[in-house]
Structure 1
Amino acid sequence: MKEMIMTNDPNLKLWAKTGRGGDLYYHPLLYHMLDVAAVATHMWELLSEDQRKRIGYTLGNEARAITLFLAGGHDIGKASPGFQQQVPQLSELTDLQVSVNDQNRPHGFVSACVLNRFFTTVLGQIAGGHHGIFPRSLDLRMGRDILGNREWEIARNGLLQELAKVLKIDISDDTKCKPKIIDPFIIPLLAGLISVADWIGSNQDFFPCLTKPGQLPELVGDKYFEVAKDRADKALHELGWMPGVIFAKEAPFTHVFSGFIPNSLQNSIEDIAIKQTSPYLMIIEAPTGQGKTEAALYAADLALCRGFARGIYIAMPTQATSNAMFKRVQVDYLKNRRHKGKLNLQLVHGNALLAGMGEVREGEISDFKIADTDTGDTNTDMEAQSWFTAKKRPLLSPFGVGTIDQSLLSVLQTRHWFVRLFGLAGKVVIFDEIHAYDAYMITILERLLQWLAEIDCTVILLSATLPEARRKALIYAYSGQNSSENKCYPRITLAQSRHYINQETNELIVCKEVSVEDSHCIYLNFSRNDLEILAGELTRKLEHGGCAAVICDTVDRSIEVFRYLQANMHETECLLFHARTLQVWRREREDEVLRKFGKGTKQHDGSYTNPDRPFRAVLVATQVIEQSLDLDFDLMFSEIAPVDLLLQRIGRLHRHSRTRPEGLEMPQFTILCDGNRGGAPPDTFGKNIEHIYDRYILLRTWLVVRGKAMIEVPAETEKLIEKVYGTDEEICGPDWIEALEKAKRNLVHEQEESQKAASRLLICPPCDSEDIVRQFNCELFDDDDPEVHTAIRAATREGDPSIMLVMVNAGAVLAAEPALDEVRDLLGHSTMLSYKGLYHELASNCETPKGWEKNTHLNHARLMRLDENNRAKIGGYILTVNEKLGIVIEKESKDNG
């Protein structure tokens, strides 16, 4: 850019950003304001028509110009003596008076104070909250020591008038924009748009600092704005947001999924979804293997094509299920559908960077630096980086697949909670396996459903098994209506958003029973949870071959079972699959499990063959295989678990039609439990099992299943669920009544405490905008940071906290500041470890290398060095890292120490 010697233009004498490196370069404040307004210009066009209209209902005919002005004016607080004095060489450029008594308050708070003169308090606070925290009324009381003298006020007015002139908006006193902001929708939409526009407009790869002290750029006003808009266009193309997606025309199910013949469930969902013209909640309850995912994607596709949705986010319960779903959406849906524009499908979870081991993927900025000097540290920079690297960016992309955690964080009082809601606004949000959520997560989910309805999201909930009370609570959270509809399982329930009523049916809630084609019997067996007995049963039943699964409730037990079976079943291939292993091995094992025990290829007769399926094998696994993974076993053993999870596990037994080995033609499910099938309640189901699952639910499950010889699925599914989770108690003897009453008291107390714990973390429900800003009064901190106290931790799941460990050999040489490939390698050698008694030892005794502190993927990780035997000692424990076993944790003793 052409430069000229210093001029007297006061609008170019104040700085906003400084460059990286040794030489001092800066970016004038006016330029930065125009940069962010330019980014907002393009982002406004990426909003849906309905979103722009809804902003217009509040802000009036000049809604677009006001939005761009708020985005551009968000940093006007930097035109204050406290901020400008942070770099003495630059503060000397202006003749404005400064003093040693000047205070440097957060510039966003100063911006809110200044913008209040032109807009309502809430609009000023929205713009001033771009660093993640809304200033409150108390924060806006400012005097001359913060704002400076009259000359500073004139300088700020000059900058805002120049911005207004470029944006063609009149901000003179007689045309102040003072609407009453009562629509809660405005908060996440405007606050999210402004924050993201600021992050992009601050990135020096797109908007470089080119000015040296003593010199000023030549371009001003409209001329510079044209340059800024070109740079913004390039930035949004590079981020994968432009060109915006143009969705294909409506098509029947058979076209959306080419060559896919829909079953009765999918036909029913097509019939219901095709009648919808506005956002809604749909709950799909059906057995595993019925194609709920394809049905949900079809309903989502209709919403996209009809214009009341602008993207899709799929929230899965685990990283493993997210990885599998990502591939299904990519291959089965997007590649066939042929929407136009940047489809930009992204994966979001803590280790999403590992999903692509090659080049940086579209939309991922590996080194997103803004070099903001106003806070004196790198927190602002880190926050921006985290939104443009693998962990969070899918929330802002048109299509995203990831864990539920990032969506639940949308309603926790964290920095930039509103950015997450902004990313989800107007999308179809699909939640899978919702029966797996406990009382803590359900409390957060219900608040999220309230907000998703408010921001015009279509929500689809998928579950194989869902208690009636929970279904009604979820419907109420989204629609505000009590449901009296209750058709037989399997079923589809649809509820309209509180803001819309279907004009064709005029019904708020409808429920439809659907049929399934393959109702079948599962034969139940029972056995003591004894390793010798288990090995004997497996050997006998696999005599003629077959693939069996043994599902354990804890990682330690799965390792113990695997070791025993491997040592005693020499003619059987044994595999172990759990989450407590290094990420690189977990991915490899997940791929191996899917390859060997997946459905394979469909034949002309409707059956499946899999050339990689072992002749005789046993997979020992934890709960990682009970959700969303398309696996098929000939035989299954499972430790006792709540009935809904037992049914989930059963869903992986004889899942697809195929030729079965002799003796395994009928599905056999063996429950491992030491309880007496006809006598008193067990004293314990196992200390570790009751640490994971509530004793009351286990007791009711055992009481219901222990006398059964078979289960007809899905005919008995709902009956079993309601017998365990419903209000009607089973008829039983005094000893059982006493045990159940004691366990229920404990359960009720624990659930109440869980609900209270979750409620303390939540943002308020949709309400008056001033209340939303005022009630945001608790800044929670990153759940990944092991040093954060539990009282202020933004935890989306209850239980023992986890810590990210990177485990390398003692002699490994680590780069001071790892490049992207090195980061991937380090993440591959990491694990999230949650183990009672070890967490604080690891947090205290394992350090975060200094070079990792500025990396969004590693800044909360701890480094552990392993000896020549791949072991480490810490806090009275020995950790052994083994490719087959994962991470084995044992208490240190004289024998092994």
Structure 2
Amino acid sequence: MLYDPAATLTSMGERLKKDYPLAFGECQQPLPDEHAFVHLFAGLVQMADWLGSDTREKFFPYTAPGEDRTQTAAARAAYAVKSIGLDVSVWKNALHGQPPTFSAAFDVPEARPMQVAAADLSLGNIVVLEAETGSGKTEAALWRFVQLFEADKVDSLYFALPTRVAATQLYQRVLALVARLWPQDPPVVVRALPGYEAADDQEKISLPDFKVLWPDRPDDAKAHQRWVAESPKRFLAATIAVGTIDQALLGALKVKHAHMRHALLARSLLVVDEVHASDAYMTVLLEKLLQAHIKAGGQAMLLSATLGATARTRYISIGHGKKLAPPSLADACAAAYPAVSFRKPSGICLQAVAGNPLHKTVYWETRDMMDEPKQVALLAAQAAAQGARVLVVRNTVPAAVATLKALEGLTLAQGGDWLFKVNGVSTVHHSRYSRQDRPLLDQAVEAQLGKTRQDTKGRVIIGTQTLEQSLDIDADLLITDLCPMDVLLQRLGRMHRHARPDAERPEGYRLPHAWVLTPAGNDLTPMLKRARHGLGRFRDGGGVYPDLRMVEATKRLIRAQPSRQIPADNRMLVEHATHIEALQGIENDLGPDWQKLGQAIEGDTSARRGVGHLHTLPYDEAFSDVMFPDGDQKIATRLGAADRLVIFDPPQPGPFQQAVKQLALRHHQIPEGVSPDALPVDIAVLPAGAGFEFTLGSARYRYNRFGLERLKALDENKPT
């Protein structure tokens, strides 16, 4: 007998009506007739399909002989949902039975006013908290989650940070909080970092066929809860997860499983730390993510030390229809700081709050020696010789390495030892280190320049932007390259961060002093034609700090007054260096070339925002009308050429007595035409465990105590 598709479908339909009668009965509550709901439902279906395809025991293994899956599916589904942690009722009930206090949750005497204010449930579904570095914004956000969770406003937390390092640091703090909130059977806390995945500090072991083994017993309930950490696509299914902003942004992009990420995030408080407006592409992605998240019923909290009025207005307007115009420069400067911002029917409300009780007067001045690493090293050495802990932040890796080499020369000549060392090896701190060595660098920085210092000797730590955030640094003196004001305030936050008795700081450095390095003659004009020291726009757009107008405004603010009150002056300083009226004032003062720069920056911003709009999912359009790109088009959370992860098997000896398994090559370090499948070859270990060299494609690389460096191309090494 021939197979009859129509008859088979009819039979299947009749069986479905019999097994699931509620699905075919009269609908008492029609589902929402909105495009956004269809997208949300699509994500829920993706999640159900993923979980329903898991064949592990007690989930959905292949049907056993005699089993009627229509009778067992509901029980299996309930078990799976509960065991992976999607059902959070047990943890909410625990909080209802014994509501936590802030002091108990964070093991501190009491909450600061800012932390109490930020937890107010009447603030709405999107809140912006602006406060200086070290004021307790992180605890404020976590406490807001606890209050929302207990009040049944959210079911989960995703804490999004700008970097892996920042996420790794916060992860440990969140683990401690969860242990205090739920002493018995707490929810699993996921470190949502691809390649660094962890659940309750347990790291997974990858097996063939995409399977995962956890160090505990396979039948342990915790092992099932760690299901959410077995794939990056599942991270947002966790009750509590800490990771980078990228994992959340993937829910707003036209990429695989975006709908599932979006649906899982909809039940969360999304906390975004270090929000700023400098990257136009990521700003668009975040705006689109927040629009979809808020419309789906989610909650969001944005944290920043240096957010300008224009960006704040844009974010707070999300979810409220008509966007509001940003305030004038004068009104922006007059706004409260620190502040909690939210939206009322009448408009944006800025509520002044008391932040960090530690206020300081920062004494700053410019030093015309950006091009002179020996002079910079001499300044640092002189201060360290008097017992000062000195933080030197350069805008580029080559400048940081040159400064260290100059300092090492001074150390040999003068007999002092003020060098920053890791396992006895002198080094710098920047991003071009292996995933195995970077934690060693971070731990050494905090040990030698953190809140709890190991000794009283002077020390000089040299690095780049990696020293600006996340690390608990308490320098006596800051020497820094000129940079935009919002960045400079981050760097200033790493100086005199903690209150100390005078005896713990050397005489002459008991007041916070910052020396800001400027180009020759304090003149930024040459950078209009060619970017140097991280200052200026590349010919094809972009750059470390491409908007020289902001840099010029920052330089003028430093030279205008020898000291500033932190954080009292923060709002004024940021607005006068970032607000469009201030930037237009710089153009008018300096003439046509600077006006051309403004036009170029505006064009770059418009182009990057345009790409962002093209790449994001239009959740307000019909699901059937959304077109995803073909497989050849790459869509990423950060605009620009992709980095390359190089794997070493077996691992190679690193410069700090740590085996190196992986190295990330920045896109500009990768030779043209190298195959995606190319492996490192001609690996040569350097003498005395100093690192190693290797070849990839047509380029030779060295990895040593200065980090990863691309050497000359192979054909350039040939004699001429």
Distance (Å, rounded) in 2 between the aligned partners of 1:429 and 1:339 = 24
Residue number in structure 1 paired with 2:112: 263
Greater C-alpha radius of gyration? 1
1:386 positional shift = 11
Q: Does 1:673 align with 2:518?
A: yes
2:37 corresponds, among 172, 179, 186, to 186
SS at the partner of 2:667? coil
Q: Aligned in 2, Cα 1:352/1:156: closer, same or farther, shift over 3 Å?
A: farther
Task: Deviation per CA, 1:547-600: give whole Å up to 9, x if none.
Answer: 221112223333333333234334112242222121111122222223332323
Which amino acid in the other structure matches residue 627 of structure 1? Q
Q: Verify: 1:512 aligned to 2:351, yes or no.
A: yes
Q: Map Cα deviations across residues 455-477 of structure 1 (whole Å, 9 max, x no partner).
A: 11111110001111111011112
Offset of residue 366 of structure 1: 8.2
Distance apart, 1:493 and its partner CA = 0.5
Moved more, 385-394 or 585-594: 385-394
Q: Identify which of 683, 688, 695 aligns with 1:873.
A: 695
- For the 8 Å contact 1:352–1:391, the answer to whether it is kept is no
2:430 counterpart letter in structure 1: H
> What is the aligned counterpart of 2:609 among 728, 738, 755?
755
Render the CA deviation track for 1:814-857: whole Å, top value 9, x for unaligned: xxxxxxxxxxx99x61133213252544445x53xxxxxxxxxx
Say if 1:314 and 1:431, in contact at 8 Å, map to a contact too.
Answer: yes
Partner residue, 2:268: 427
1:169 is paired with a residue whose SS is helix
Map 1:2-41 → 2, pairs under 5 A: none
The equivalent of 1:705 in structure 2 is 558
- Between the aligned partners of 1:837 and 1:218, the Cα distance in structure 2 is 60
Say whether the 8 Å CA contact 2:192–2:198 is kept in structure 1.
Answer: no
* Residue number in structure 2 paired with 1:467: 308
One-letter code aligned to 2:486: D
Match of 1:523 in 2: 363
1:395: how far off?
0.8
Q: Tell me the CA shift for residue 628 of structure 1.
A: 2.8
Of 11, 23, 36, the match for 1:158: 11
> Is the CA contact 1:241–1:397 (under 8 Å) kept in the aligned structure 2?
yes
Deviations 1:193-223, CA, capped at 9 Å, x for gaps = 2212222222233467668xxxx93333xxx
Give SS of 1:830's match.
Answer: strand
Partner of 1:86: none
Q: Which residue of 1 aligns with 2:399?
A: 557
Q: 1:681, 1:736 within 8 Å by CA — same for their partners in 2?
A: no
For residues 59-107 of structure 1, what are the alpha-carbon distances to aligned partners after superposition, in whole Å with 9 as ceiling and x for unaligned? Answer: xxxxxxxxxxxxxxxxxxxxxxxxxxxxxxxxxxxx653xxxxxxxxxx
5+ long unaligned stretches in structure 2? 213-225, 421-426, 537-542, 687-691
Q: Secondary structure at the match of 1:763?
A: coil
d(CA) in 1 for partners of 2:560 and 2:667?
A: 36
1:383-411 Cα offsets, whole Å, 9 max, x none, are: xx997525343211111110001111111
SS at match of 2:190: strand
Distance 2:586 2:277 in 1: 28
Pairs within 5 Å for 1:321-340: 321-331=166-176, 333-338=177-182
* Aligned-pair CA distance for 1:875: 5.2
Cα pair distance change 1:355/1:194, threshold 3 Å: closer
| Secondary structure in structure 2 of the residue aligned to 1:261 | coil
Q: Which residue of 1 aligns with 2:142?
A: 297
User: How much has 1:305 moved relative to structure 2?
Assistant: 0.9
Partner in structure 1 of residue 711 of structure 2: 890
Q: Report the AA paired with residue 201 of structure 1.
A: G
* Partner of residue 198, structure 1: 49
Taking the aligned partners of 2:667 and 2:12, their CA distance within structure 1 comes to 55
Most deviating of 548-557 and 745-754: 548-557
Give the C-alpha shift of residue 891 in structure 1: 2.1
Q: How much has 1:512 moved relative to structure 2?
A: 0.8
* Other-structure match for 1:14: none
Question: Are the aligned partners of 1:637 and 1:670 in contact in 2 as well (CA < 8 Å)?
Answer: yes
Separation in structure 1 between the aligned mates of residue 239 and residue 439 of structure 2, nearest angstrom: 26
Cα distance between partner residues in 2 of 1:886 and 1:588: 13
Q: Which of 641, 656, 666 is the equivalent residue of 2:483?
A: 641
In the alignment, what sits opposite 1:776? 626
Q: How far apart in 1 are the matches of 2:505 and 2:652? A: 50
Q: Letter of the aligned partner of 2:259 in structure 1?
A: F
Looking at structure 2, the residues matched to 494 and 545 of structure 1 have their Cα atoms a distance apart, in angstroms, of 46
Please list, as runs of the form range in 1=range in 2, the aligned pairs for 1:433-444 lying within 5 A after superposition. Answer: 433-435=274-276, 437-444=278-285
CA contact (8 A) 2:553 2:586 kept: no
CA shift, 1:508, in A, is 6.0
- Verify the 8 A CA contact 1:432 1:461 in the aligned structure 2: yes
The answer as to whether partners of 1:323 and 1:347 remain within 8 angstroms in 2 is yes
Residue 406 of structure 1 aligns with which residue?
A: 247
Amino acid across the alignment from 1:259: V
* Contact 1:284/1:492 (<8 A) preserved: yes
- CA–CA distance in structure 1, aligned partners of residues 289 and 638 of structure 2: 14
Tell me which amino acid in the other structure corresponds to 2:340.
I
Deviation at 1:613, TM superposition (A): 5.0
1:873: how far off? 3.0
Matched, 1:446 2:287: yes
Cα distance change on mapping 1:205 and 1:674 into 2, 3 Å: same
Provide the residue aligned with 2:539 in structure 1. none
Aligned-pair distance for 1:669? 1.2
1:724 maps to what in 2? Answer: 577
Residue 490 (structure 1) aligned with residue 344 (structure 2): no
In 1, distance between residues paired with 2:531 and 2:204? 48
Separation in structure 1 between the aligned mates of residue 589 and residue 348 of structure 2, nearest angstrom: 43
The change in CA–CA distance for 1:358 and 1:308 in structure 2 (over 3 A counts) is closer
Q: 1:404 to 1:680 in 2, by over 3 A?
A: closer
- Rounded to whole Å, the distance in 1 between the matches of 2:666 and 2:522 is 34
Instruction: Report the CA distance between 1:656 and its aligned residue.
Output: 0.5
Q: 3-state SS of the aligned residue for 2:306? A: coil
Distance 2:364 2:395 in 1: 19
Partner of 2:470: 628
1:698 positional shift: 2.3
| Contact in 2 for aligned 1:803/1:839 (Cα 8 Å) | no
Task: State the TM-score, normalized to the length of structure 2.
Answer: 0.83
1:663 to 508, 513, 516: 508
> Which residue of 2 is the match for residue 835 of structure 1?
667
C-alpha distance in 1 between matches for 2:464 and 2:2 = 67
* Distance change in 2, residues 1:794/1:725 (3 Å): same
Contact persistence 2:643–2:667 (CA under 8 A): yes
Structure 1 runs not aligned, ≥5 long: 1-94, 98-150, 371-384, 497-505, 601-609, 782-787, 813-824, 848-861
Partner residue in 2 for 1:585: 437
SS at 1:754's partner residue? helix
Change (3 A) 1:251 1:874: closer
Q: Structure 1 residues 188 and 590, CA, compared in 2 at 3 Å: closer, same or farther?
A: farther
Provide closer, same or farther for how the CA distance between residues 403 and 243 of structure 1 changes in structure 2, counting only shifts above 3 A: closer
Q: Is the 8 A contact 2:197 2:203 kept in 1?
A: no
Conserved? CA contact 1:285–1:465, under 8 Å: yes
* Distance in 2 between residues matched to 1:512 and 1:345, nearest whole Å: 32
Pair 558,807 (structure 1): closer, same or farther in 2 beyond 3 Å: farther
Give the superposition deviation at 1:535.
Answer: 1.2
Distance 2:234 2:665 in 1: 25
Residues 508, 709 of structure 1: CA spacing in aligned structure 2 closer, same or farther, 3 A cutoff?
closer
- For 2:449, which of 597, 622, 634 is the aligned residue? 597
What amino acid sits opposite 2:54 in the alignment?
N
The alpha-carbon deviation at position 652 of structure 1 amounts to 0.7
Amino acid at match of 1:832: A
Given that residues 447 and 477 in structure 1 are in contact (C-alpha distance below 8 angstroms), is that contact kept between their aligned partners in structure 2?
no
Q: TM-score, normalised by structure 1?
A: 0.67
Contact 2:166 2:469 in 1 (8 A): yes
Identity %: 23
Residue in structure 1 matching 2:67, options 219, 228, 231? 219
* 8 Å CA contact retained: 2:642, 2:666: yes
> Does the 8 Å CA contact 2:191/2:198 hold for their aligned counterparts?
no
Alpha-carbon distance between aligned partners in 1 of 2:437 and 2:610, rounded to the nearest angstrom? 38
